[in-house]
Amino acid sequence: MIYLDNNATTRVAPEVLDAMQPYLGEFFGNPSSAHAPGREMKRAIEGAREQVASLLGAADTSEIVFTSCGSESDNWAIRGVLAAQPAKKHIITTLVEHEAVRNLCRLLENEGYEVTWLGVDQNGELDLDSLRAALRPDTALVSIMLANNETGVLFPINEIGAIVHENSRAAFHVDGVQAVGKIPINLANVDLFAMSGHKLHAPQGIGALYIRKGVSLSPLIIGGAQEQGRRAGTSAVPNIVGLGAACRLAREDDDHARVERLRNGLEDEILRNVPNARLNGTADRSKRLPNTSNISFEYVDGQNILMHLDQAGICVSTGSACHSTTHESSPTLRAMNVPYTAAQGSIRFSLGRYNTEADIEITLSILPEIVAKLAAMSPYDKELAKLK
């Protein structure tokens, strides 16, 4: 299998599994218990918290709270900020956020909040002047992602945070789920930052939220006094230990440069050799994640490409409407004004630490043939003829 879908989820790293193993067998206990096994659990959790804080560059480990996933972190950050300042009814976010933010903000519109939806240009980039103009005295929250899950386009959160804090008293939340483990993180101007373990080789079912000291956040889950009373529920010790190990791995054994070289080779070759291929997201690679390429194969269907690649043992994902549960083409690509016939043929290649040179070579040897076969079947034969 050639796995090029690391933005969807990643394989649990053997180092992570090794770190977790004792906590799935030999060591057990409730970290809230006062006895020795309980204390061992507590120690393991705090060790992991240090690893997460260190990867994110948090000033203090107490700024890291463990959650069940990235979506919980996003939901908590947003709802928690709003609950802590109920008089403010304005939110600013973007049209290209992950569903965990976008769908929650849609829901909040029905709950009496006014949401300013910032758009992006055809490169997927934000206009910071429109952000500045949207800030108001009653803006409670600005929620903007660091890296887009579909295109890998990065938003300049350091600059955005500065604009938010200079021009308002709003809290600045960043959905960092897709970025952590792939690029260095700078939290200097960030109040809240969501991350998820399974995007960086920890298991599914573990996330974390960075809460800058001094930011007031109401709890989302009510119960016991775990996580300094901020997030109730018995701590998932094995998963937390796994997340800590994954963060250590990302920091110490960083091979982003190698992954980026593989990605660049894949992207360059596809764009060069496939006549109906076009890149989605800025061509300026310094403004994109090093592992992601989103390419549209115009006038053919992305789900068809996906199925043919799948048959060849290659895993990718698509922004085609049919494939999605909502039967809508990708909101990110729509916000970028990607033509419908191109959005339908979009394929996301997202690489990771276990990809090899051979993976890319094999993919490049198979993909153009698949696209050519589908193009020969396309009812857009006149349009395709013009591209040759």
Catalytic residues: 322
Q: Does residue 181 come out as left (phi exceeding 0), alpha (psi in the -120 to 50 range) or beta?
A: left
Taking the complex as a whole, the smallest distance from the CB of residue 280 to another protein amounts, in Å, to 16
CA atoms within 13 A of residue 181's CA, in its CB half-sphere: 29
Taking the complex as a whole, the smallest distance from the CB of residue 327 to another protein amounts, in Å, to 5
For residue 12, give Cα distances in angstroms to 51, 161, 354, 375. Answer: 17, 33, 11, 37
Q: Which stretch of DSSP H or E encloses residue 160?
A: helix 157-167
User: In this structure, what DSSP letter does residue 143 have?
Assistant: E
User: What are the tokens at 143?
Assistant: 């929620």
Instruction: Decide: 64 and 47 in contact? Cβ < 8 Å.
Output: no
Buried b (16+ CB within 10 A) or exposed e, 368-377: bebbeebbee
Instruction: Decide: 295 and 277 in contact? Cβ < 8 Å.
Output: yes
Q: Residue 67's closest CA among 57, 79, 54?
A: 79
Beta bridge partners of 196: 207
Phi, psi (deg, nearest 5) at residue 95: -75, -10
What residues make contact with another protein under the rule CB under 8 A? 299-301, 303-304, 307-308, 311, 320-323, 327, 329, 340-341, 343-345, 374, 376-381
Taking the complex as a whole, the smallest distance from the CB of residue 374 to another protein amounts, in Å, to 8
Buried b (16+ CB within 10 A) or exposed e, 88-101: bbbbbbbebbbebb
**Cβ proximity to another protein, 202 vs 335, nearer residue:** 335
**Cβ proximity to another protein, 241 vs 274, nearer residue:** 274
The Cα–Cα gap between 148 and 94 comes to 11
The Cα–Cα gap between 157 and 148 comes to 12
Taking the complex as a whole, the smallest distance from the CB of residue 100 to another protein amounts, in Å, to 24
**Cβ proximity to another protein, 143 vs 303, nearer residue:** 303
Taking the complex as a whole, the smallest distance from the CB of residue 326 to another protein amounts, in Å, to 10
**Cβ proximity to another protein, 161 vs 345, nearer residue:** 345
**Cβ proximity to another protein, 133 vs 376, nearer residue:** 376
User: What are the tokens at 270?
Assistant: 């596809």
The Cα–Cα gap between 341 and 132 comes to 34
**Cβ proximity to another protein, 163 vs 333, nearer residue:** 333
Taking the complex as a whole, the smallest distance from the CB of residue 278 to another protein amounts, in Å, to 16
Instruction: Decide: 225 and 232 in contact? Cβ < 8 Å.
Output: yes
**Cβ proximity to another protein, 152 vs 345, nearer residue:** 345
The Cα–Cα gap between 179 and 32 comes to 32
Taking the complex as a whole, the smallest distance from the CB of residue 117 to another protein amounts, in Å, to 23
